[in-house]
Amino acid sequence: MMRQYELVDRVRKYNPNADEDLLNRAYVYAMKAHGAQLRASGDPYFTHPLEVAAILTELHLDDATIVAAVLHDTIEDTDSTREDIDRLFGKEIGALVDGLTKLKKLDLVSKKAEQAENFRKLLLAIADDVRVLLVKLADRLHNMRTLNFVPVAKRERIAQETLDIYAPLAGRMGMQHMRDELENLSFRTLMPEPHAMIEARLGDLRSRNVKLIATIEQELVEALSKRGIDATVKGREKAPYSIFRKIEHKSIAVEQLSDIYGFRVIVDTVEDCYRSIGVIHTKWQTVPGRFKDYISTPKQNDYRSIHTTVVGPGRQRVELQIRTREMHEIAEYGIAAHSLYKDGFGAGSGAAMGESRSYDWLRRTVELLAEGDSPEEFLEHTKLELFHDQVFCFTPKGRLIALPRGATPIDFAYAIHTGLGNGAVGCKINGRIAPLLSELQNGDEVEVVSARGQSPPAAWESLVVTGKARAAIRRATREAVRMQYAGLGRQIIARAFEKVGKTFSEDMLKGALPRLARQSVDDVLAAVGRGEMFSGDVVRAVHPEIKVDRKPASPGAAGKAEGGWFGIKRAASLVFKVPGADEAGDSNAIPIRGFGGDLPVRFAPDGGAVPGDRIVGILTPGEGITIYPIQSPALTAFEDQTERWLDVRWDIDEENRDFFPARVVVGCLNEPGALGTIATVIGDLGANIEHVEFSTHSPDLRDIKIDLRVHDLAHLTGIISQLKSKSVVSRVERVYV
């Protein structure tokens, strides 16, 4: 275990002005707080926060971050409180420790929801102060280094979480060195056999290529020195997990990879970077398509280098990364490198934030928190953002937009503005009209065409790749559905008020919101439209003196059936009785036009309904209105739920006639050509066949159940009449289910 003076010495090596008293007090406090607690390895628990602090001293971080690392588990795992830490070490350190503390007593059903909610809290804390992230990553790194002491089931869950979230998060923050170690530790735990195989192959290649690596390093240094460029060249071996991903992606063998060994050429200035490229490309043949300039166009995590691949000594492909010393620090340590050029972070993240492009992504991710998505959706969106490489595209005015690889113009539109994405109807890529679902490539210029009043199709959600686009499409879809339900609810409530002789007013409804336990009028309208609240309750909330009686009304014009299938009288309305008022009639039935309108309406399955039928609407919570013919036997299921019955009527547009569902059963001869005759009649009369099902009752006869789309009852009756006139047809019946 690291001694107290050793911790102080580590910090003072890079910061002679370190607050020795603060470090000593934190060491003693944490040691006493954790007391006799033990880790799974059997070591004193206090060794863990010390090792986390040691990892952060390697990054040369400020005193407050080191102290937060020493104290990071005190609130979560001991009797210490946030107030204790604030009082003894100051509010700055208290905020850091609190940001690293998991939420306790979460009343959540699933482990995934709990994980997501804790990750949400962590990201909010990181957005407030970047040092929270640095401590968290160091914490996870030490836990991964000691993962072999944890039970197998828990070990795999932790490794998967690290691979899914924390390693990509380290990469997004530019901390490539830490990302590589987190990935490899997770890889070894989750896939031990592939890990061992790749390690063995690397060991073999390493022993064979020792001289080649030394030769390339020497030739590079000499070639650059002759041109007056002072360069340091370092050979590096690709990490096992990175090799595994490339093998999986390209379906190739280890020996076929061209970049198992890479070389970093580190020079003094940006000018030297470009001069070095000239020297290298003059000396060795380049590999086409393998040149990338991340200096002129940095990655989103601040990474800057020039990449190229050449055919070097021994006809060996060699990958080169050329960068300045400052770029190298940022490439290895990411946001942690920014603190090397400061006296220390201020309270909060402003100092580092202004210098790091990594925070553009973090800010966008945190914006999703304010959009009301569930924790699981937020975690899903964050993973989408973490896992993708990037492409760089431009607006017509030259603005650079960084997107995940595989992004579409829809993602591009949402990256610019949510309104542009919601209204997108077309696009041009490099001046040519292209589909909105085209995959964007590096350097594409994208122009999005939008229209006011548009709403994105729900199907887009599964086709885009950015979390921001998915969240916005999901919100727009929900809002569109909500508006449909609100429109239905407004009609239901208006008719309920008319039945009791009152006029519906949204202003009057506002005063009744507390009695209905809703925040807004739209909430009430949508709740009624979804069937979660009954219109009679709204009437009673606004007019408490009115007595609401939920029972079947006398048969009305739109909803009666004398005898019918059951020998009963049925109505599709609620009765509101007002002292001294007559029963309301059925003249205010809700108009039904068909699919795709402003109301959430569907037709009963296995039969449907067509204009001309007497119909009834059944309000189903969360689904809207289902339309049944009054003869439908299925209505018996709703006999005791009269509050769900609605008066509805047909509202037909004669100029734009829709198709409606109906089902018939045709009895016919079991002989060749019978089906063709039936289909010809239906087609000639302008109807559509949706589905056909056969059943044979004897060698000579069979039944054909046909789902049709017809304009109205007259259209259907004509089809039935024509079918009956055919010699191959023995009977035709309409089916009501």
Active site residues: 76-77
Comparing CA positions, the residue from 176, 322, 306, 329 lying closest to residue 241 is 176
Three-state DSSP state, 339:
helix
Q: Please measure the distance between the N-terminal and C-terminal CA atoms of the chain and give it in whole angstroms.
A: 77
Nearest-5° Cα angle at 526, 524 to 528: 70
Contact residues for 73 (Cβ-Cβ < 8 A; gap 6+)? 34, 45, 48, 49
Tokens of 712: 């109205």
Q: Would the CA dihedral through 249, 254, 258, 259 be positive or negative?
A: positive
Contact predicate 613/574, CB 8 Å: no
Helix H segments across 209-342? Answer: 210-226, 240-250, 270-283, 325-333, 335-338
Task: Output the CA angle 143-147-149, nearest 5 degrees.
Answer: 120
Quick check: 715 and 652 in contact, CB under 8 A? no
Q: Which helix (H) or strand (E) covers residue 23, if one does?
A: helix 20-34
In sequence order, what are the residues at sequence separation of 6 or more whose Cβ sits closer than 8 angstroms to the Cβ of residue 235? 213, 216, 217, 261, 262, 263
Give the pairing of strands 285-286 and 306-311.
antiparallel
Distance CA 273, CA 265 (A): 8
Alpha carbon distance 422, 570 (integer Å): 45
Beta-carbon count within 10 A of 418 CB: 19
Distances (CA, A) of 451 to 220, 419, 423, 574: 56, 10, 5, 42
Sheet holding 729-734, edge to edge: 688-696, 701-710, 660-669, 729-734
Query: What is d(CA 371, CA 17) in angstroms, rounded to the nearest whole number?
Result: 44
Count Cβ atoms below 10 Å from residue 78 Cβ, excluding itself: 18
724: its two tokens: 């009956």
| Chain mean position to CA 464 | 10
Q: Are 732 and 702 in contact (CB under 8 A)?
A: no
Instruction: Answer positive or negative: Cα dihedral of 327, 331, 335, 338.
Output: negative
Burial 373-388 (b: 16+ CB within 10 A, else e): bebebbbbbbebbbeb
- List beta partners, residue 615: 629
CA proximity to 52, closest of 153, 130, 141: 141
d(CA 566, CA 423): 51
Strand ranges across the sheet with 446-450? 432-434, 424-429, 446-450
Q: How many CB atoms lie within 10 A of CB 81?
A: 13
